[in-house]
Structure 1
Amino acid sequence: NVGKSTLFNRLLGRRKSIVFSHPGSTRDIIKEDLVVGDKTFYLVDSGGFDNEKDHYPTLIKEKILETIKKSDFIIFLLDGKSGFYNEDREILKIIREKKKKYVAVINKIDTKEAGENISEFYKLGIKKFIQVAAEHNRNVRTIREYINNNFSNLPANLVERNNAIPKIAIVGKPNAGKSTLINSLAKETISIVSKIPGTTRDSVNLKINRWNKDYLFIDTAGLRRKSKISDDMEYYSTNRAVDTIEKSDIVILIIDSQYGPTNQDSKISSLIKKNNKGIILAINKSDLIPNNIRDEKNISERILGSLPEINYAQTVLISALKSKNVDTIYKLID
């Protein structure tokens, strides 16, 4: 809750990451193009670095460590309102051990506590800090200028905007295998995968170049029935998923082959049809279907019969976990 997602959105100039007052709101790694001057960078929003040994903090911490290793430059964000934490020292130790370039930024300097707390951060052995108030967009421009100056020797590399790339939303019920599929498409861990339904909160973008063609896949939060939405965070996540469907070109609806289509799948299908989207029905976990009944044509016909509102959908039987038949999705998109 240091304000990473707020700063991420301010740097982008639009709301991409969900911002919520409860710590741990961001779980997946959110990645977007950041244009500074004549250069394009990948800006990455990570979850909070927490030493708790609960399920999610452990998964998030592993993902943060992996992200630090892959990064060229790090914005090391500190909380001026809450003051110095031992985790701050631990994060900085990792950054230095990996010999990464970084800039230290103290956030929330517009709070009365910040004036008393800023001196504590000199314990880290850092001589210069950028001080910002991300929520009110105060001094955020200085970070952009710092990035631009730090990479001034790089050639201009403005990239093609995502507007020209087909956008494919991956939707379905919680725990249907959406994040596993996006990781399989990427051939690396982009979304955190857990057996606990509702792990994904933000919409996670993944741009993939396949056969000299770009695709933009978007992993969304699981869509539950309204009566099952238990808190404000899940409400915002669900709204973000619905918004993603509306803005996409094609929607991949994942059906769990172990349960078949449910009433919620039918409602999601109606939402897709209402928005006139192309649809691919990905019947997941095919590796768990017994061999004697694994007839793709028969399974597809039965599932489409249960979802008459999208009986025009393309279908494919996949195992996202084992990357089985996943490449067929590209052919169906085209």
Structure 2
Amino acid sequence: MILRCKIYPVNLPRGVSSSYFGRGVGSMKNSIRVAIVGRPNVGKSSLFNKLLGERKAIVHDLPGVTRDRVTGELKWEGAKFLISDTGGYVPGDDPITKGVNQQTSGAIEEADIVLFVVDSKEGLLPFDFEIANTLRKFQKDVIVCVNKVDNERLESMLYEFYSLGYDKLVAVSALHGTGIGTLLDMLKALAGNGEVHVQEVEKIVPKVSIVGRPNVGKSSLLNRIVGSKRVIVSELPGTTRDLIDIKVEYFKKEYIFVDTPGIRKKSKIEEDLERISSLKAIDSIKKSDVALLLIDSTIGVTEQDLKIAGFIDENYKCAIVAINKWDMVKGNKAKEKAILEYTRYKFEFLKYAPIIALSAKTGFGLKALIKSIDNVYAEYSTRIETSRLNKVLGEVVSTHGLARRGRAILKFYYATQVSICPPTIVAFVNYPELIKEHYERFLKNRLRESLGIPFSPIRLIFRKRS
């Protein structure tokens, strides 16, 4: 049975077109199948109508109005979606209820993406958790659509919906159209190039740039790592003019090491060629995953070392501070301890950077270096579950007084990780301008600690929730 009703035009989001096909439509070529599910009366049909821009599904306050599947095509920024409105899951054992639930399960089975609709005004009910558990059995991509978010107070309550156990969550109002654009963007992101399937992921090889002042032993360290003299080594500063990329395999793991020219103070750069080489070294940091900052144990931390570290920090790169020429001090316990403590003190602003001692000459500390690279890169490429992120953020914020200015008090709504390398987190707040540098630094330090990524920089982006 195809539901037929009068069509009332509704304004579509820009770039959307739609057409109606009814129940039982075969798969359209290159279309992504999307099923809308949820318990009765949470606004599934209203969301379906808003997405397609027409009243194709019957909307009524009486739960269970939609029993058969209604399907329509939606186009958004080049991607095609076949949207199915279902009767959702209904409690009960009568024949009609069983039929509705079977239809819903069939729609999910055929779908690539599932929109799980919940009601922000009623909050979470036990049946919502039952549906969430049922959906997990299908192993589909799920977006939790928190519907009826019509005011700021409801937006502030979104945290609880992460307890359903799904990372992808969006606040929408099917009545007013709020959040529909965001939902469409999420669908487009999941659709990729129009095909929802798992593709073979290319093996990622971390790129490690060896940086530092001239003559601290960068080329010697690379030669030690490689096991042969691939790079010219000399006591004369500035021997390395070009970037040297060498792929190395250690214990069946691959790494790309980049030897860079020494970065000198601008006032000491005399030759044009040396100036260009220093710019290449700086550019290498930008393109690397891990910046290995080499310093000289016999000289200690210099002003230029700190400037290079600052550049690494500004570009959100993983950092390892390696104290070279350790063979010159090894055995003098008091001196070893003093150098390590002083180095940590000077690099206090680079808290996430591990500090290791090594000798490019003897090979001491080489295994510790490789292990540190593995650890920092693993954290640098970490993906954090949205539910866990929001739980941790809530705990961190609750233990620290919220920023305020006059009557304006900072409020966090929710946060989501948008990328890796570095872990980049977008937090939606009411007044981004209230977040000052010291408070952002506090959040980063606490988040690194609480999320278990102490060796990775974190990029925080604060956006006003409209």
- TM-score between both structures, scaled by the size of structure 1: 0.50
Q: Which has the higher contact order (CA 8 A, sep 6+)?
A: 1
